[in-house]
Structure 1
Amino acid sequence: MRDYEEVTAFLGEWGPFQRLIFFLLSASIIPNGFNGMSVVFLTGTPEHHCRVPDTANLSSAWRNHSIPLVRQDDREVPHSCRRYRLATISNFSALGLEPGRDVDLEQLEQESCLDGWEFSQDVYLSTIVTEVWSEERAVCDHGHADRLQLPTDLLKELRDVYCAVCPCRHGPDLQLRGSICPGDWRMLLLALTVPGVLCAALWWFIPESPRWLISQGRYKEAEVIIRKAAKINGIVAPSTIFDPSELQDLRSKKQQSHRILDLFRTRNIRIVTIMSIILWLTIAVGYFGLSLDTPNLHGDIYLNCFLSAVVEVPAYVLAWLLLQHVPRRYSMATALFLGGSVLLFVQLVPPDLYYLATVLVMIGKFGITSAFSMVYVYTAELYPTVVRNMGVGVSSTASRLGSILSPYFVYLGDYDRFLPYILMGSLTILTAILTLFFPESFGSPLPDTIDQMLRVKGIKYRQTPSQTRMLKDGEESPTILKSTAF
């Protein structure tokens, strides 16, 4: 049977139908970015310190000195999770003793924030942390480790978020939790969620892939879509798209169903799948790790987040150009090596050159973003049609795991500010080296069967019986397409 490209060649490569599908698919992806990165603002933790209630009966001097000071970024700030024991300093205040003059503050006993916290509104008016998670494990220094506790804690947090997002359904009792109906972060969450809901309407406008339908033996459905595409493109479709003799030959063959285990069936596809999982996971760790770490950069958080978003535009443009003209392996490896190497240099920047550190982080984000956008195309080209959706799906699932792990890389900055950059940079460079062992798909036709997959570079294979038969018949085996030409 003729291949798919030959059957659909009359449609053209970039007609109105192809452009329509491209822009509809692009529109369905846009809301994902809104919700994915909104956590930077929704769960931001403002500067905070222990609340000292008015009932403490402290003099103004003792109230001003009720919170211990700690050094942070070459300045002294109030401790975020400790205060001097109120019972003790209340007695000193009643006796008329002055802090620092009559009483050595360093010798005073401290206690945790038993009355809650006061949050600064210089950066955020309100966040989920200040209104829902305002408890010690969420705002204190050891909160990150505590988030690894039992699943019941996570269920409780999800319950609290639901109650906070929908407070008006639960009566006035929730109003006492901090005037949370409504709140600024809720309006942001609503504004970011609505576009995603509207994208559900695209279900009726985006057709199924004809190539995939053909691989499943659903030729009539594929022909309907192809004829519709021809009509939109203003092209008269041939009276017969699929030759009856070809269809009869295919129907006489048993249609083989494919499962996810087929991604590990042969040695070649197994190695490609494992390498793809590693590639997607580490790229996601770098991409989401740098995105979530943006508030920790020096300077205005909103400006830094804006720069982090803007730098992706030229990254996508570069990725598009590379995909058009440069082999896949070298494009991916170069982008990853650029992103990883500059992250390793961040630790060498002097503290007073913090703007240079920000520039290096943005360059790292630039390189990793380019690789992240190219890996979708690259992975789709590696897998054959019969399992392409499963191959990309498994790889994408690995990237979701990477996005889950990325916040914990950011949390390591509490112990060493440069540790996240060192780890993410090292992983990215190792992934760049791994990419060089992938098969090269640039300029090669898309494989339709598992036997037609390109071979992993540098690994020797024995020919399968099917390949041997093809060679005996005088045909060129698509499984031995050389990837070393680039």
Structure 2
Amino acid sequence: MSFPELLNQVGGMGRFQVLYVIFLNVPVLMLACHAVLQNFTGGSTDHHCQIHSNTSNISLVNMAQNLSSQDLLRISIPVDENQRLEKCRRFVTPQWWLLQPNATMSNTTVVETEPCIDGWVYDKSVFPSTIIMEWDLVCDFWKLKQMAQSIYMAGVLVGGIVFGGLSDRFGRRSLLIWCYLQMASMGTASAFSPSFSAYCVFRFLTGMAFSGIVLNCVSLCLEWTPTHMRAIVGTLNGYCYTLGQFFLAGMAYALPDWRWLQLTVSLPYFIFFLYSWWFTESARWLVITGKSNRAVKELKRVARINGKKEEGDKLNIEILKSNMQKEMSSVKNTHTIADLARTPVVRRISLCLCFVWFSTSFAYYGLAMDLQNFNVDIYVIQLIFGAVDIPAKLVSVLTITFIGRRFTQAAALILAGLSILANIFVPQDLQTLRTIMAVFGKGCLAASFNCVYIFTGELYPTVIRQTGMGLSNTMARIGSITAPMVKMLSEYFPSLPLIIYGAAPIISGIAATFLPETRNVPLPETVEEVETRAKQLREEEQQMKTLLAPAKPDPASEAGEKQL
């Protein structure tokens, strides 16, 4: 009896699994909010220098008080070549002559200007309060906004490395409970940050918790779910992330103050932390790590919740050991990150998944974190970007279930890359068409994410599953950190970012075709099982080629026929 058969014995996809998946996926709703939160908490707005607030000439002060706000700006702030107010310079002294009819800067000599030494005035029509306004992240400091997002993504990267290995050593449940608490406390602390430096530190720690939640949620869902239901459960996880994007648009519209928005998306994790103590540790992990007594106890608990108490009572440690010899034997071995590259098949899997995860995240965040460049209301485009995930993930779950993981993964990436590259040839004035192409590409990348979470968990054996997920998450975060940097290349060649964003998924889509198919295949428990399956598959393919190959005529019989 294998572990999937044990799961069926204690209820299969019963009441316990349904409740477990629901409780694990509710926190995922808020993860989407944290991932792209800075689209709203760090939203860019029009700004200009503060006008001169003091002057020694009393008569000029009285004159200025009688001017309209438009005239005050005209005499205080220069305009650029597009006749828009300069964002980072102001006149050293008010230029009263500009109030004369038909007076423009073009028919005068150069007027001396200075930086915004008294601060900035922001357009608060869309965002009344953001970290940009709070800490003046504009002009010479505009890069700090991108740095804040990169620091958050660096936290997600470090979290993948740290929590991936720790959960394989200490268990999925314990790490998930800790990550809920860390997300709640650090997210809340971000809302009360007294300085930009403190904000970045708290966001880094929030990013670490994000990774821990994603990794352990996926693993617990997969390891307690029967083989035939894994694709559906994995897609449900993806849809919760999609719904989270809708929630973010609504919450950001209702709570335009960045501190209140940050607080609102963080406080629910205190509730998740409290109910997560009810969670059951992965029985697969318990068996693999030699904790058979606890594994039997957890299986009996699951059987009782699923209404299979009698079946659960039949389980004991002797039955577990006799039917899971292969899994128990792996306890003798110590596994490290080196196991991801030690054997040929697992090495190929790791290499291909690194390409897939990097490119999916790289292109996804290249699109998702650039909403304000679509010239569409930011709340509307957030809804559209969330809505496209619904049909995209529906199509992906159908192809994952009925065609296979490998086809879905490769097709989603290649289509995403082609749609991004197509935007190179769409004129800038056709903004609607450009937005449609970007939304389609984002949908394909969402389908890719939906597939790769399931695919990765099924490809790696239990003994190194979390380590493999940690490596994959690391590559994804490197992609998300790199994405904003690529946008800067548009200064040298406007289409270069799109070329890179489009080429990366296509290359990764080709790499995905070298991964083994896992549709309707039980989860592997050991590295040896992965290698053996690949060898058996090669032998079966060779036998099939032999059977399908046309029979070669016997030379002796041909000679006899010619003589006749």
Please tell me the TM-score bracket, short chain as reference. Answer: 0.7 to 0.9
Instruction: Report the equivalent of 2:257.
Output: 184
Instruction: Say whether 1:265 aligns with 2:342.
Output: yes
Residue aligning to 1:474: none
After superposition, the Cα gap between the structure-2 partners of 1:202 and 1:111, relative to the gap in structure 1 and judged at 3 Å, is same
**In the alignment, structure 1 residue 8 sits paired with structure 2 residue 7:** yes
Residue of 189, 201, 208 corresponding to 2:281: 208
Are the structure 2 counterparts of residues 143 and 237 from structure 1 closer, same or farther at C-alpha, using a change threshold of 3 Å? closer
Secondary structure at the aligned position of 1:453 is classed as: helix
Q: Unpaired segments of 5 or more residues in structure 1? A: 164-181, 455-466, 468-476
Q: Structure 1's 7 and 147: CA in aligned 2 closer, same or farther, altered over 3 A? A: closer
Query: Helix, strand or coil for the counterpart of 2:437?
Result: helix
Superposed CA deviations along residues 422-456 of structure 1, whole A, max 9, x for unmatched, are 321111111111111112222323211112215xx
Give the equivalent residue in structure 2 for 1:81.
Answer: 88
Structure 1, 61-70 or 111-120: larger mean CA deviation: 61-70
Report the alpha carbon displacement of residue 26 of structure 1 after superposing the two structures with TM: 0.9
State the 1:96 CA deviation: 9.4
Q: Structure 1 CA distance, aligned partners of 2:24 and 2:306?
A: 18
How far does residue 362 in structure 1 lie from its aligned partner after superposition?
0.5
Identify if the C-alpha distance between structure 1 residues 421 and 18 changes in structure 2 by more than 3 Å, giving closer, same or farther. Answer: same
1:240 and 2:314 correspond: yes
Q: Closer, same or farther in 2 for the Cα pair 1:328/1:106, shift >3 Å?
A: farther
CA distance in 2, matches of 1:319, 1:63: 54
Alignment of 1:3-82 (within 5 A): 3-56=2-55, 57=60, 63-71=73-81, 76-82=83-89
Once superposed, what is the RMSD of the aligned Cα atoms? 3.4
Maintained 8 Å contact 2:77/2:89: yes
| Contact 1:338/1:367 (<8 A) preserved | yes
The C-alpha deviation readout for 1:378-415, integer Å capped at 9, x for no partner, is: 01111111111211122112222222222223444566
Relative distance call for 1:376 and 1:104 in structure 2 (3 A) is: same
Residues 103 and 340 from structure 1, CA distance in 2 versus in 1: closer, same or farther, beyond 3 angstroms? closer
**What's the counterpart of residue 266 of structure 2?**
193
Deviation at 1:39, TM superposition (A): 0.8
- Cα 1:44–1:290 shift into 2, 3 Å: same
Tell me: CA distance 1:98–1:431, structure 2 relative to 1, closer, same or farther (3 Å).
same
Partner of 1:158: 197
Letter in 1 for 2:10: L
| Residue-by-residue CA offset, 1:286-316 (whole Å, 9 max, x unaligned) | 1122110112112211111111111122222
- C-alpha distance in 2, partners of 1:183/1:298? 19
Matching residue's letter, 2:18: R
- After superposition, the C-alpha distances for 1:259-299 in whole angstroms (9 at most, x for unaligned) are 22222222332232232222212211111221101121122
Range that drifts further, 131-140 or 99-108: 99-108
2:137 is aligned with 1:121? no
**Equivalent residue for 1:381?**
458
Determine the structure 2 residue equivalent to 1:130: 133
CA distance in 2, matches of 1:148, 1:338: 27
Q: Residue 19 of structure 1 aligns to which amino acid in structure 2?
A: V
Runs of at least 5 residues in structure 2 that lack an aligned partner in the other structure: 155-193, 203-254, 545-564
Deviations 1:219-249 (A, max 9, x none): 1111111111111111221543357277379
CA deviation vs aligned residue, 1:12-39 (integer Å, no higher than 9, x gap): 4321111111111111322211111111
> Which residues of 2 match residues 62-461 of structure 1 at below 5 A?
63-71=73-81, 76-84=83-91, 86-87=92-93, 90=94, 93=96, 100=103, 104-105=107-108, 107-134=110-137, 136-139=139-142, 157-159=196-198, 184-235=257-308, 236-237=310-311, 239-242=313-316, 244=318, 247=321, 255-412=332-489, 418-453=495-530
Q: Secondary structure at the match of 1:118?
A: strand
Separation in 1 of the partners of 2:99 and 2:305?
A: 87
Query: Residues 341 and 33 from structure 1, CA distance in 2 versus in 1: closer, same or farther, beyond 3 angstroms?
Result: same
Matched letter for residue 107 of structure 1: V
Shift of 1:194: 1.1
TM-score normalised by the chain length of structure 1: 0.79
The one-letter amino acid paired with 1:480 is Q
| Alpha-carbon shift at residue 185 of structure 1 (Å) | 1.2
**One-letter identity of the residue aligned with 2:273:** A
Corresponding residue pairs, total: 433
**2:360 touches 2:476 (CA, 8 Å); kept in 1?**
yes
**3-state DSSP of counterpart to 2:83:** strand
Query: Secondary structure at the residue paired with 2:501?
Result: helix
Change (3 A) 1:444 1:20: same
3-state SS of paired residue (2:407): helix
Provide the C-alpha distance between the structure 2 equivalents of 1:147 and 1:335, rounded to a whole number of angstroms. 26
For residues 376 and 287 of structure 2, the distance between their equivalents in structure 1, rounded to whole angstroms, comes to: 55
Q: What letter is aligned with 1:69?
A: V
In structure 2, what residue type is equivalent to 1:157?
Answer: F
Q: Distance in 1 between matches of 2:342 and 2:418?
A: 36
User: What is the alpha-carbon distance in structure 1 between the residues aligned to residue 428 and residue 337 of structure 2?
Assistant: 50
SS of the equivalent of 1:83 reads strand
Q: Distance in 2 between matches of 1:379 and 1:295?
A: 33
Q: Is the 8 A contact 2:137 2:145 kept in 1?
A: no
Displacement of 1:418: 4.4
Q: Give 1:133 shift.
A: 3.5
| Contact map agreement 1:452 1:479 (CA 8 A) in 2 | no
Specify whether residues 359 and 254 from structure 1 end up closer, same or farther in structure 2 by C-alpha distance, changes over 3 A only.
Answer: closer
Q: Identify the structure with bigger relative contact order (alpha carbons < 8 Å, sequence gap 6+).
A: 2
Contact 2:127-2:256 at 8 Å conserved across structures: no
Deviations along 1:36-57, one digit per CA (max 9) or x if unpaired, are: 1111000112011122123255
Offset of residue 252 of structure 1: 8.9
Asked if the contact 2:289–2:331 (Cα under 8 Å) also holds between the matched residues in 1, the reply is no
Structure 1 pair 396–116 and aligned structure 2 pair: CA distance change class (3 A):
same
Structure (1 or 2) with the greater helix fraction:
2
Q: Percent identity?
A: 28
Select between 343-352 and 372-381 the one with higher mean Cα deviation.
343-352
Q: Distance in 1 between matches of 2:368 and 2:122?
A: 24
Q: Distance in 2 between matches of 1:30 and 1:81?
A: 39
**AA matched with 1:372:** F
TM-score under structure 2 length normalisation: 0.69
